[in-house]
Structure 1
Amino acid sequence: MNRVITPVFALLAATLLAAGCASTGDFAPAPAKADIKGAPDYLIGPGDSLSIQVWRNPEVSTSVTVRPDGKINTPLVDDMVAANKTPTQLERDLEKHLAKFIQDPIVTVMVTGFNGPYSQQIRVIGQAAKPQALQYREKMSLMDVMIAVGGITDFAAGNKATIVRTYGGKQQQFSVRLDDLIRGGDISANVEMMPGDVLIIPESFF
């Protein structure tokens, strides 16, 4: 039976192959500090934990987890869509609904447990010990990612790894030095990650 290779997997394979053959000089080094201010606002997703505080109304303040269908239930609010909204957008929507019961409600929404849409998770592919998608955490670093995926395999070309980052609607690719960071203990090789980053770890061919 012939296997059908989709354009997405074909592109991924080509990217991994190119990364494995390239030198770290082909891409600029990843910036040590991520410009989170310039990144898109965080969007709430299924599985996120939210702390919802209504000023001067503790009886309707609560903590909830966004359901798989993207909705939440709170005191006085049933089945409100929370997914794909920023915390500020959800605050305004809750205030509009609560205004039916409370005079001039002021709502604060804090995301206490991040999961979020796939587009804002960090994905690790290639020669990681456990390739996977990770929940983004504030100030998450490359070292944090490596700990979460169990490091790299013996076949990894760690210093040829790259980060693919979408910023301002444009896609950029940066080199990172995983061998220096993990095996050499060079902390200067550690960099901050951004939501939506894809870390590509190619295989060494020699």
Structure 2
Amino acid sequence: MGKDASTLARDIEKELGKYIREPVVTVIVTQFVGPYSEQIRVVGEAGKPQVLPYSQKMTLLDVMIAVGGMTAYADGNAATILRTAEGNKQYSVRIKDLIKRGDVTANVEMRPGDVLIIPQSWF
């Protein structure tokens, strides 16, 4: 823990060097769990509000699948992403268009630390 990919690769090469002549190891990070503050949090009218580990290339659709969609009371097109990495800047997202209408232009990439807020509809 606490090592970057190239340091970990060198450590593995050193250990493999006991068994293999001149091993070459490449480490590629495909999933980032990281500290709690850098995980994706989903609150409000999600099917199962929760904290998710951030994955590389994770999108809004991936997040919605993981949380079981929205409740019947959700106002999906009024949802926002609170981007903690940018000083809590808020971005509007259109979950209803993405899920119910298949509008792929509404599918945005998530970032570590994002908080997805799905509000309740007023009617």
Common fold: TM-score over 0.5: yes
Give the Cα–Cα distance (whole angstroms) in 2 for the partners of residues 189 and 112 of structure 1: 24
Whether 1:144 and 2:62 are equivalent positions in the alignment is: yes
Matched, 1:187 2:69: no
Which structure is larger by alpha-carbon Rg, 1 or 2?
1
Structure 2 matches for 1:102-141, cutoff 5 A?
Answer: 108-141=26-59
Contact 2:85 2:113 in 1 (8 A): no
Q: Does 1:160 align with 2:78?
A: yes
Please give the alpha-carbon distance, in whole angstroms, between the structure 1 residues aligned to 2:30 and 2:95: 30
Q: Flag structure 2 segments of 5+ consecutive residues without an equivalent.
A: 19-23
Alignment of 1:73-92 (within 5 A): 82-83=1-2, 85-88=3-6
Deviations 1:30-89 (A, max 9, x none): xxxxxxxxxxxxxxxxxxxxxxxxxxxxxxxxxxxxxxxxxxxxxxxxxxxx24x44346
Give the TM-score of the pair, scaled to structure 2: 0.78
TM-score between the two structures when normalised by the length of structure 1: 0.49
Q: Give RMSD over aligned pairs.
A: 2.6
Q: Residue type of the partner of 1:118?
A: Y
CA shift in 2, pair 1:112/1:167, >3 Å: closer
- Please report how far the alpha carbon of residue 90 of structure 1 lies from its aligned counterpart in structure 2 after TM superposition: 5.2
Q: Which runs of 5+ in 1 are unaligned?
A: 1-81
